[in-house]
Structure 1
C-alpha cells in the first residue's frame, strides 16, 4: 500500500501479468498431459488430455457381446468418466498454484476476480 491507503497499481499489474503467464503455462501443460481411466477390470480404457479431450478408447474383444451391447456401453461410459475425473483432478493440481495466488494484491480488489 502506498501512503494514504492506495494500492500500488504498477505492482498489481505486474502480479496480474505474472499470474497470466503462469496460467498460460499450466494450460499448455494440461493440453500436453494424458490421463487414463478404465472400467471392467481394464477391459475398457479411455485416454483424455489434461484439458479433457478424449484421445483414445481401447476395448478388449472379450467384452464385445452382440447380445449385450448395454454392458459394453456402460463400461465405455464408466471408463470415459474415470478418465475425465482424472483430468479434472490434474487440472485442479496444475491451476492451484496460480489461482491460489489471488490472496495477494489482486485478491483485495472489490468484487474479486471470480477465478
Structure 2
C-alpha cells in the first residue's frame, strides 16, 4: 500500500492539519471575494461572493421597459447565473488542488478523502 512500509502517522496528521489550515484560509478568502456576472451586454450586473451568495444587483435604466418585465427578469437570472459560474470557477481554482491532494491522503476515498464537508466525503 505504501512504498517502504507504513507511513509515519505523525507526519500524515501534520500534513492533514496544514492542508486543513490552507483550506480554511482559501474558504475565508472566497467568502470575501467579489465576483461579477453580466447579461444583456452589461445592462444587468450581478455581484456574488466567492461562495455564490448574491451581494448586489445593478440594473441600467435602459434595461427597464415597463411593457416588457419578462426580459428584465431573464436578464437578472442570466447575470446571477453568470456570476455564480464565475464564483464556481474561482472556488475550483482556489480549492481544487487542495481537495485533490486530500484525496491522496484518504487512500482513494474520493475528492475529500472522507473528510466531512469536502467533495467526495
Alignment TM class, shorter chain as reference: 0.7 to 0.9
The answer for the alignment partner of 1:108 in structure 2 is 107
Q: Structure 1 103/80 Cα, relative in aligned 2: closer, same or farther at 3 Å? A: closer
The answer for the alignment partner of 2:67 in structure 1 is 67
What CA distance in whole angstroms lies between the structure 2 residues aligned with 1:45 and 1:77? 10
RMSD, aligned CA: 2.1
Q: Structure 1 40/109 Cα, relative in aligned 2: closer, same or farther at 3 Å? A: closer
Larger of the two Rg values belongs to structure: 1
Q: State TM-score, norm by structure 1.
A: 0.87
Decide whether the 8 Å contact of 2:16 with 2:102 is kept in 1: no
* 1:26 paired to 2:26: yes
Secondary structure at the aligned position of 1:108 is classed as coil
Structure 1 unaligned spans of 5+: none
Decide whether the 8 Å contact of 1:48 with 1:84 is kept in 2: yes
Structure 2 unaligned spans of 5+: 115-119
Q: Structure 1 67/78 Cα, relative in aligned 2: closer, same or farther at 3 Å? A: same
Deviation of the 1:2 alpha carbon:
9.0
Query: What are the equivalent positions in structure 2 for 1:75-90 lying under 5 Å apart?
Result: 75-90=75-90
- Tell which has more relative contact order, 1 or 2 (C-alpha 8 A, sep 6+): 1
What CA distance in whole angstroms lies between the structure 1 residues aligned with 2:96 and 2:109? 22
Q: State TM-score, norm by structure 2.
A: 0.83
What CA distance in whole angstroms lies between the structure 2 residues aligned with 1:109 and 1:46? 38
